[in-house]
Amino acid sequence: MRINWSCSHTVDSTWLQVMQNVADATEIVCGLSSLLIGLQICGDEEIRVLNRNFRNLDRATDVLSFPLIQYGPGKMLPDHPEYLKSVYDDEEGLYCLGDVIISADHVRQQALEYGHPEEREAAYLLVHAICHLMGYDHMNETEKKKMRMMEEKILESVGMGQSGETSTITDETLMELARRAMEHSYSPYSRFRVGAALLSTDGRIFQGCNVENASLGITCCAERTALFKAVSEGARSFSAIAIASVGTAPWPCGVCRHALYEFAPDLRVIVTWDQQKAEMSLKELLPHGFGPDELARGQKGTDR
Ligand code: THU
């Protein structure tokens, strides 16, 4: 899902990553693609003004959503994708669902009250708002139940459901995120498209694709694109990577195996191509790897 961000409050980049992850998961769970939303992260003062202007309620709130689609009674997007036609943006090639406003002050406060991480609260509020943009509501018990079920299904798919600590993103979602990353592959020279989705142990998911260059040797593989994105956002520990391609099993190249080994020697490596799937551990793919532990052992006792 494309998010047009606008942040008037400084927030941790983890929030943005986790929010992007749940937005992408929403598309997958609902069987939709090419959706666009506007997302503004502001403070209590700003959301109070918007609440007053648009809803006549002169108080701050956690989240506001402004759907562009007028749904008929009881109609929601996953079952009625025909509604998307009315909000197709020719220039962008995307379906614009509407805008979401989230108060960072409320996110922080509510995270404290519920005793969970701030990014989890931010992600929950975004999923709630996107459900509104898809036609869900909570005016009566039946509607409310349907909305809660959809919210939970989306959060569960990225390991953020109510079952809590023990749950993790499903392999299917991770593979689908890799397939979707493959769509961005820049591979005019090899015409071999690769996408990757790397799961960090704090629950964030980083996507990457291969990025080629007219100077062929400086091409970056999908796996390293994802890894470098992750490390540069502060993630250092990873549990799984899904890699997608077409026509053949995209086992990572030697350079990528080594790059991943530095941070996660026990990584699960899942490859998917056409309708197929296979899995191996990084240790199987790179036996006797050379990592920080091996380096430290060799350095022991040397003084030069
Ligand atoms: N490629 C990857 O992205 N990952 C791998 O592990 C193997 C190869 C890309 C690099 C290049 O853009 C294309 O596939 C052909 O080598």
Q: Which atom of ligand 1 is nearest to the CA of 211?
A: 12
Helix-helix angle 141-157:13-30, to 10 degrees: 110
Q: Answer whether residue 304 shows pLDDT above 80.
A: no
Nearest 5°: CA angle at 154, between 238 and 114? Answer: 80
Specify the pLDDT at position 201: 93
Please state whether the predicted TM-score (pTM) of the whole model is above 0.85: yes
- Please compute the mean of the pLDDT values over residues 280-299 and round it to a whole number: 95
Evaluated on CA atoms 57, 62, 68, 69, the torsion sign reads negative
Mean confidence (pLDDT) of the chain: 95
Catalytic residue among 119, 156, 176, 223: 223
Query: What is the CATH superfamily name and number for domain 171-285?
Result: Cytidine Deaminase, domain 2 (3.40.140.10)
pLDDT of 207-266, one tens digit each?
999 999 999 999 999 999 999 999 999 999 999 999 999 999 999 999 999 999 999 999
Q: What is the CATH number of domain 2-166?
A: 3.40.390.30
Does the pLDDT value for residue 147 go beyond 60? yes
11-57: per-residue pLDDT in tens?
888 999 999 999 999 999 999 999 999 999 999 999 999 999 999 99
User: Is 223 labeled as catalytic in the residue annotation?
Assistant: yes
The predicted-structure confidence for 89-132, as pLDDT tens digits, reads as follows 999 999 999 999 999 999 999 999 999 999 999 999 999 999 99
Query: How much of the chain, in percent, has pLDDT values that exceed 70?
Result: 98
The H or E element spanning position 205 is strand 205-209
Q: How confident is the model at residue 200 (pLDDT cuts 50, 70, 90)?
A: very high
**What lines the ligand 1 site, CB under 6 Å?**
187, 190, 192, 194, 210, 212, 219, 221-223, 252-253, 256
Measured in Å, residue 174 CA sits from the centre of ligand 1 at 19
pLDDT at 161 over 90: no
| Residues paired with 277 in a beta bridge | 272
Q: According to the model, what pLDDT value does residue 232 have? A: 96
Residue 10: pLDDT band (50, 70, 90) is: confident
Task: Give the Cα separation of 269 and 286 in Å (integer).
Answer: 11
- What is the C-alpha separation between 208 and 48, in angstroms, rounded? 38
Q: Report the residue among 189, 219, 246 best suited for mutation to probe ligand 1: largest number of ligand atoms under 8 A from its CB.
A: 219
Q: How many other C-beta atoms lie within 10 A of the C-beta of residue 143?
A: 14
Which atom of ligand 1 lies closest to the CA of 225? 3
Domain ranges of the chain: 2-166, 171-285
Find the 191 Cα to ligand 1 centroid distance in Å.
10
